[in-house]
Structure 1
Amino acid sequence: MTTGVLFDGRVEDVLLGDEVHVAGPTVLSISNGGGLEGARLEIGARTYVGEFNNIRCAGAPIIIGPDCLVSQQCTLVGSNHGTRANELVREQPWHGDGIVIGRDVWIGAGATILPGARIGDGAVIASRSVVRGEVPALAIMAGAPARQVSARINTR
């Protein structure tokens, strides 16, 4: 990691592969709470995480594969608060099962990756997109909510 990274959590809940670069200022919050106790962050080898990112496990795992690019100003959040009307939002239990990002994924600037996202190998997430649910391998996704607009193709 580099300087300017704000880290909140237990070091033993973080696994960084070889040659990982996290540019600062970036927030890495690997905390439990809201009734969830599974916070952990794994970032695969040779992955680059740009500046001004907000990565919050929030009681759930966030796993980023090897050889990925996470551009600047992205938000990755592993869980959400409940939204029942009869309770204050801040007092409701958290829910969510984290995020899994495959290998060789490019996440464009300002993208938001929500709890439950499963992004397949080789996918591209366009700038400012909002991703939830499954993203197929090699898909190019754009929009809010993100939809598949194209796919990476082999040119050899």
Structure 2
Amino acid sequence: MGNQQLRKNLKWTLGTHLRYWRNKQKLGSCGKGIFFEPGVALMRFPENIFLGSNMVLKTGARLCACNEQATIRIGENTTVGYHTYLFASAGISIGDNCLIAPFVYLVDSDHSIDRNELINRQPNQTAPISIGNDVWIGTGAKILKGVTIGEGAVIAAGALVKDDVAPYTIVGGIPAKKISERK
């Protein structure tokens, strides 16, 4: 299990069970054994959020399906770190057994920047984000629209990922570049 070490230290209380039950009512699907810490927000269209079993969502995590068509799908045994934000205007898909550290930001849209129009009147440009199984995303990393991260990849802390990442590749920097490969 990808988050086995973390899960053995979780304290299941009445509050934990109540948060699970309350959130399960809102979501499109909610697997078994999901640990919702206090202060997790399921925003705008929570019925478009689909969570696999045995996940951990840490305090301050924000999952936002921003419109009626947007979806967020997260696989089994994945941990979403403290104050991590997932904002989907098209779709964000995260595989099984992933570790997402604190303060990570995934957003699948940005604004057009035509100089002949006010910024706040310009349309969003969207493209889904896809993250494979067994991926580790380090603290403070940012994943931008249209990015696919392959199975087993590692994203270094603070990286800005604007291009696809091949399976089992380690990337870091601004913008993120290949550092190495998992052995």
Same fold per superposition (TM over 0.5): yes
- One-letter amino acid of the counterpart of residue 69, structure 2: G
What residue is the counterpart of 1:24 in the other structure? 59
Cα drift, residue 6 of structure 1: 2.0
Cα drift, residue 2 of structure 1: 2.6
The number of residue pairs the alignment matches comes to: 148
Provide runs of 4+ in structure 1 moved above 3 Å.
none
Check if 1:55 corresponds to 2:86: yes
Check if 1:102 corresponds to 2:102: no
The correspondence of residues 114-129 of structure 1 with structure 2, limited to 5 A, is 114-129=144-159
- One-letter amino acid of the counterpart of residue 145, structure 1: P
Q: For residues 27-62 of structure 1, what are the alpha-carbon distances to aligned partners after superposition, in whole Å with 9 as ceiling and x for unaligned?
A: 211112xxxx631100000000010111111x2100
Cα drift, residue 24 of structure 1: 1.2
CA distance in 2, matches of 1:103, 1:126: 17
CA distance in 1, matches of 2:87, 2:157: 19
Check if 1:84 corresponds to 2:78: no
Check if 1:9 corresponds to 2:39: no
What residue is the counterpart of 2:71 in the other structure? 40
CA distance in 2, matches of 1:104, 1:135: 13
CA distance in 2, matches of 1:110, 1:55: 13
Check if 1:133 corresponds to 2:168: no
SS in 2 for 1:135: coil
Cα drift, residue 152 of structure 1: 0.2
Identity %: 39
Cα drift, residue 124 of structure 1: 0.2
Larger radius of gyration: 2
TM-score, normalisation: structure 1: 0.91
- One-letter amino acid of the counterpart of residue 14, structure 1: I
Cα drift, residue 12 of structure 1: 2.0
- One-letter amino acid of the counterpart of residue 76, structure 2: A
SS in 2 for 1:90: helix
Of Structure 1 and Structure 2, the greater helix share is in: 2
Partners of 2:45 and 2:64 within 8 A in 1? no
- One-letter amino acid of the counterpart of residue 24, structure 1: T
What residue is the counterpart of 2:98 in the other structure? 68
CA distance in 1, matches of 2:38, 2:119: 34
- Structure 1 residue runs of 5 or longer lacking an equivalent are none
Of Structure 1 and Structure 2, the greater strand share is in: 1
- One-letter amino acid of the counterpart of residue 86, structure 2: I
CA distance in 2, matches of 1:38, 1:80: 17
CA distance in 1, matches of 2:78, 2:104: 15
